[in-house]
Amino acid sequence: MNNHVSVLEIDAKAVKHNLNFFKQKLQPNTKILVVVKAFGYGSDAVDIAKIVENEVDYFAVAYANEGITLRKAGIKKPILVLHPQLPNIESLIDHRLEPNLYNFKILDAFLALADKKVTMNYPIHISFNTGLNRLGFWHTDIGNILSEIKKSNNVKIASLFSHLAASEDPEEEEFTVNQINNFAYIVKEIYEHLDYDPIVHILNTSGIINYEEAQFDMVRLGIGLYGFGNDDAITAQLQNTHNLKSIISQINLINPGETVGYNRAFVAKEVTKSATIPIGHADGISRKLGNENGFVIINGQKAPIIGNVCMDMLMVDVTKIDCKEGDEVIIFNHQKLIEYMAYKTETIPYEIITAISQRIKRFVKQ
């Protein structure tokens, strides 16, 4: 492919491996929904969806426009929109996207629209707040939800779901089990009032790992598909999906006392060979990695980032590395490198991979 710019290589084999790893944890009848929000966790939602479409039951995105992108690319599987907004509920219907209806404002608006625009059984999803306190109805809303939905023949509840607040944290097990039990109670109450059974789901990646007994009818796989479990032992069994690479644009020899980059932050103590790499903080490489906090890999060796990370570039010390302009630079190609970047920038791998800018070309390695 184009070897003259920074690129993000999406490893299709790794994605499939990770999907199979989680599928093996499921009961034979448990469905699987794959979360491809935020550009497939910073990769490419369409590429990811195409890689796994034949092996999954559902997709989820956060916002309507993300779902529209998938439909325009020819993705046919059902798509749950986790956080639809009032101004674009009409576009959901136009693209056969299935809304999560999380409060009465959006439920009522959608029901009114469905009366005008659709004929029968348009799939909707109802979410319940069981402790995350983000989106979702409360258990005390059940009666009103059912009476509103029963007034309309145009919609049908495709699923009931909730979201765990701390599924990765063993210290919060009691809280999590409570969330699961309260959700099961909500589901039971709704089932008693419907003559059909919506799909039920609560587990995200860490939930799948830690709460096998709570799979219900479906699980929602996000970060796990992209190579991260909730501890080293699981992550070691997953494969890295995001390989961020660049090249050396220019090499400079810096004399003692001379400086590199903005604010003259790096001062050479001895003759230093620096390499300029075309990727910067506008591409998701945090300024916190500057001044030797982070490194890249060139010809198998670590090259520390020197001085401040610029918007479009960064400079690294290659004094001890045999390299030339045009050589490949690896920003990360393993979960451990992503975890190290996250540690150094006081965040989590989710934020590192979703921050990779849209300026960086994506391609799929089959």
Ligand X SMILES: *Cc1c(COP(=O)(O)O)cnc(C)c1O
Residues that bind ligand X in the complex, under the rule CB under 6 A: 35, 37, 82, 163, 204-206, 220-224
Which C-beta is closer to ligand X: that of 17 or that of 288?
A: 17
Smallest separation, CB 141 to ligand X (Å): 18
Which C-beta is closer to ligand X: that of 63 or that of 191?
A: 63
| Residue among 208, 163, 177, 294 nearest 26 (CA) | 208
Smallest separation, CB 333 to ligand X (Å): 21
Which C-beta is closer to ligand X: that of 35 or that of 149?
A: 35
Smallest separation, CB 80 to ligand X (Å): 9
Active-site pick, 37, 102, 122, 211: 37
Smallest separation, CB 49 to ligand X (Å): 15
Smallest separation, CB 338 to ligand X (Å): 14
Smallest separation, CB 280 to ligand X (Å): 27
Which C-beta is closer to ligand X: that of 37 or that of 362?
A: 37
In the annotation, is 116 catalytic?
A: no
Which C-beta is closer to ligand X: that of 221 or that of 306?
A: 221
Active-site pick, 72, 262, 324, 336: 262
Q: Which residue is nearest to ligand X (CB)?
A: 222
Full 3-state SS string of the chain: CCCCCCEEEEEHHHHHHHHHHHHCCCCCCCEEEEECHHHHHHCCHHHHHHHHHHHCCEEEECCHHHHHHHHHCCCCCCEEECCCCHHHHHHHHHCCCEEEECCHHHHHHHHHHHHHHCCCCEEEEEEECCCCCCCCECHHHHHHHHHHHHCCCCEEEEEEEECCCCCCCHHHHHHHHHHHHHHHHHHHHHHCCCCCCCEEECCCHHHHHHCHHHCCCEEEECHHHHCCCCCHHHHHHCCCCEEEEEECCEEEEECCCCEECHHHCEECCCCEEEEEECCCHHHCCCHHHCCCCCEEEECCEEEEEECCCCCCCEEEECCCCCCCCCCEEEEECCHHHHHHHHHHCCCCHHHHHHCCCCCCEEEEEC
In the annotation, is 343 catalytic?
A: no
Which C-beta is closer to ligand X: that of 222 or that of 261?
A: 222
Tokens of 302: 């670590």
Residues 6+ positions from 188 with CB-CB distance below 8 Å: none
Which C-beta is closer to ligand X: that of 30 or that of 206?
A: 206
Smallest separation, CB 73 to ligand X (Å): 21
Q: How far apart are the C-alpha atoms of 252 and 348, rounded to whole Å? A: 34
Active site residues: 37, 262
